[in-house]
Structure 1
Amino acid sequence: MTTLDLNADMGEGFGAWRIGGDIDDRIMAGISSANIATGFHAGDPTIMTHSLQQAAKHGVAVGAHPGFRDLVGFGRRHIHAAADELVNDVIYQLGALRELAAREGLGLHHLKLHGALFMHAARDEGFATALCRALMTIDANLPIYCLAGSVIDRVAEAEGIQRVHEFYADRDYDDQGSIVFVRQVQRLDPETVAEKVLLAAREGVVETASGKRVPVSFQSVCLHSDSPGALEMLDAIRRRLADASIELKAP
């Protein structure tokens, strides 16, 4: 049986505000790895702890999901800052989740940047290099979830950091094989999304926004928990993968 990771961005509320109500807990039960918001774009210590406890309950691998210092914009607005400042912000957030995870008896499985910071690392060699070198000092065995062929993918490989390449179930792709970054996500048809994931898993291609098919390489499928209809998309994806004898398992 073929295996594939299914990850989701989790814990993206703040204080009294929750995204999706109880949907996070239901999504956690159906994924193999979780990217837990670490406070700068969303999340707070109590929400982070709850997400970790749910991950432990369901046997889900946990990763840190740091973003720009942008609560108002949910980390989807680009912030102009020096590479060293951004690296410090990432390490600060990673450390916060790692300590809370240790209290729950969990170790960190991976690091995945969020939103605009993810896209910044995918393009900016200076930031990508500074971050990877810092990670080599802190934990050389901590994989980075990223887009295959992106700048941070190439830099991490050169630095000796393990990468896990992602496929984005609920995002459009352009003709260069990169995701189309949006701040507002529209509701998608669950069966269409599931068929897109299955096509990518079986044939290694994705249909772009223009209708062209381009190759994709990945070990993990990402579904965003804040996307409208996320739970329905998750159910459809899991069903299609199971029918194709593809088992869900963290890398």
Structure 2
Amino acid sequence: MVRVDINCDMGESFGNWEMGRDEEVMSYITSANVAGGYHAGDPHVMDRTVALAREHDVGIGIHPGLPDKMGFGRRKMDLTPEEMTDYVVYQLGALDAFARANGATIQHVKPHGAMYSMLSESPDHARAVMEGILEVDPEIVYLATDTNIYEVAREFDSLRAVFEGYVDLTYRADRSLIVERKKESLDPELVADRFVSIALDGEVEAADGKIIDVPAESICIHGDTPNSVEILEAIHERIAAHDIELAPLSEIV
């Protein structure tokens, strides 16, 4: 039996602006990456999203981003490792307070957008952020978005890390991701095929047709894809037909 986590970026609405289908998606996933208020989200959305996750017994994680709501956290900033760490710890602390208020705990950390890219490119920034996370909670899980970050995480004996794969984005042959600026509906069966391939074989087909290794124990589905619910329904049909069991990150590490 293969165990795998399905994680989803959530809580990215704020004010009168809505993003994603959080209430519909939550029942299909095992871990929720909740925006911390910098790239998206606000205190009210954070509280509601935590409560929704707890209602569905979904693991709760902070999805910290750069302070750039206008650019949805996708524009890089000139930050020292210490400044980056402070941004992550600040957002982790805020979500932890809402989790405690709802009788829950924080399971994991998964950086968003340009923050993740900067950590991938700079081991010094990545190490500083991981050290900061461990100082807050040594039991927390780091959801590593690529091999560069995962290798840094493995330098820490005390840091629990899980490698993440994507099925609603297309990989290049070098295992970088093709991120479209505008979300479009995807073929649910194609995405479900990728899910099964990664879950069972640790590999997926890249854009050029090459089969690449993606040894992921957690697979991300983006809740802001227009037909995300239909995609998740197709994935759950495949899970039922194969030797796959869903489990939150805390049970996989």
* TMscore range, shorter length: over 0.9
Structure 1: gaps of 5 or more residues: none
**Quick check: 2:2–2:199 contact (8 Å CA) kept in 1?**
no
- Structure 1 segments, 4+ long, off by >6 Å, are none
Residue 67 of structure 1: aligned partner: 65
Alignment equivalent of 1:194, drawn from 183, 192, 195: 192
**Quick check: 1:35–1:65 contact (8 Å CA) kept in 2?**
yes
Q: How does 1:135-214 map to 2 (within 5 A)?
A: 135-150=133-148, 152-160=149-157, 161-214=159-212
**Quick check: 2:120–2:146 contact (8 Å CA) kept in 1?**
no
Residue 3 of structure 1: aligned partner: 3
**Quick check: 1:41–1:73 contact (8 Å CA) kept in 2?**
yes
TM-score normalized by the length of structure 2: 0.94
2:92 paired with 1:94:
yes
**How big is each residue's C-alpha offset from its partner over 1:212-245, in whole Å with a ceiling of 9 and x where there is no partner?**
1111111111001112211111111111122113
RMSD: 1.3
Letter in 1 for 2:61: G
Structure 2: gaps of 5 or more residues: none
* Counterpart-to-counterpart distance in 1, 2:156 and 2:4: 25
**Quick check: 2:116–2:145 contact (8 Å CA) kept in 1?**
no
* Counterpart-to-counterpart distance in 2, 1:249 and 1:172: 24
**How big is each residue's C-alpha offset from its partner over 1:89-141, in whole Å with a ceiling of 9 and x where there is no partner?**
11100100001100001010000001121122122112101111212222122
* Counterpart-to-counterpart distance in 2, 1:2 and 1:156: 23
What displacement does 1:182 show? 4.0
Residue 120 of structure 2: aligned partner: 122
Residue 14 of structure 1: aligned partner: 14
The number of equivalent residue pairs is 248
Letter in 2 for 1:171: L
Report SS of the residue matched to 2:174: coil
* Counterpart-to-counterpart distance in 2, 1:193 and 1:33: 19
TM-score normalized by the length of structure 1: 0.94
